[in-house]
Chains A and B, each alone.
Chain A
Amino acid sequence: MDLVQLQRQLVDYRTSLYHEGFLDEQFTQLQSLQDENNPDFVVEVVSLFFEDSERLLNELSKALEQQVIDFKRMDAQVHQLKGSSSSIGAHRVQKLCIVFRNYCEAQNVEGCLKCLQQVKHEYGIIKTKLESMFQLEQQILNAGGSIPV
């Protein structure tokens, strides 16, 4: 695939992520913070998001396996996840976190379990999609091109 095709593919892919509600305008904000002085800003922040989210999702799973469930602590963790996903523009994950917090507040175990599964699922999707997008960007850079805005 030549450079122009790759660039077009990237633009189309990115646009679809917005259209399908995976990303929101906060992701655009992140991109606007990247420049020649900070060329890897988006990848760095998103990588931190991946690490942080995986840690939180593990802790939430463990919390729901306990005999006595600490809803308050879980709520604080979901609040963290909601904050991070909001800050990078991971729209679907953020929206699910809001629902998750409601279940925590209501101390609804079934609701929490269901929500956790949904969040894990959505997180998996956005992680794959962002990684694909970064790979495309890298291909473009390797081919000597620049990333279209």
Chain B
Amino acid sequence: MAHSVLSDWIYLPAQTPPSLLLNYFSFFPLKSNQIFLISFLTFSPSKQSLLYKMLSCGAGSGGCSKDMAVELGDEPHVLAVDDNLIDRKLVERLLKNSSCKVTTAENALRALDYLGLGNDTLEGTVSEVNMIITDYCMPGMTGYELLKKIKESSVLKEVPVVIMSSENIPTRISQCLEEGAKMFMLKPLKQSDVKQLKWHLMKCRN
């Protein structure tokens, strides 16, 4: 298959299925002291193709972090939290259109349960999410309070959290960013917002 190489990034045609990528290595053998691990897919807007980042770990480097392990073909899993049904439907469709796997929760408590931080979390039901996007104004626990709980958790504090709000209040925005939110977005969300979000998500994972 045709490809081009630019430094340590290899561009493959957009439709390359993950299985073919593995065959790639049979044509381009690895150097004997190197192990190549493949980072997840990133969509390169300028190159109009899927960009597989080849990372190399030296054999004696002591191993690589979990994030660098093969996530070939995996869609990022996003947990979307919003008490408004219409907004949940909208954010779900926006995320799915950007090739994300989506789980929705109608309030912060349900979200915490899903993440394994709640009082009602059942054994063995904790799911891995790559990003959490939550509304700010929710009854009971707000999105800000949810953000704090996530950042307090040793297991989940590295998961990027995005806050959405229909209200443009600078103190609210800075409060959330200071608490560790990756981004603050104004509702209603558009497709361009989600594309930007996904780009940041991919950078985070790198």
Contact = CB atoms under 8 A, between A and B. Distances in A.
B137 A26 contact: no
Contact of A33 (B83, B84, B93): B93
Interface string B91-102: 001100100000
A79 B166 CA distance: 9
Contact of A80 (B84, B190, B191): B84
Nearest to B87: A87
A122 B75 CA distance: 42
Contacts of A52: 85-86
B89 A86 contact: no
B163 to A, nearest CB: 15
Contacts of B84: 80, 83-84, 87
Contacts of B97: 33
Contact of B87 (A32, A44, A84): A84
Contacts of A140: none
Contacts of A88: 86
B188 interface: yes
Contacts of B187: 83, 86-87
B97 to A, nearest CB: 6
Contacts, number: 47
Given A79-B137, A87-B90, A26 B85 contact: no
Given A38-B93, A41-B93, A87 B86 contact: yes
A29 B189 CA distance: 9
Contact of A45 (B86, B139, B166, B190): B86
A86 B166 contact: yes
Task: Give chain A's interface residue range (CB within 8 Å of chain B).
Answer: 20 to 34
A49 interface: yes
Which of A29, A32, A41 has the largest number of chain B CB atoms within 10 A?
A29
A45 B84 CA distance: 12
Contacts of A49: 86
27 contacts: A26-B188, A26-B190, A29-B188, A29-B190, A30-B90, A33-B94, A33-B97, A41-B93, A44-B89, A45-B86, A45-B89, A45-B90, A48-B85, A49-B86, A52-B86, A79-B137, A82-B166, A83-B87, A83-B166, A84-B86, A84-B87, A86-B166, A86-B187, A86-B188, A87-B84, A87-B90, A88-B86
Given A41-B93, A83-B87, 17 more contacts: A29-B188, A29-B190, A29-B191, A33-B94, A33-B191, A45-B86, A48-B85, A52-B85, A52-B86, A80-B84, A82-B166, A84-B84, A84-B87, A86-B187, A87-B84, A87-B87, A88-B86
Interface of B: 83-87, 89-90, 93-94, 97, 137, 139, 166, 187-188, 190-191
The 7 closest A-B pairs by CB, nearest first: A84-B86, A87-B188, A33-B93, A83-B84, A87-B86, A26-B188, A29-B190
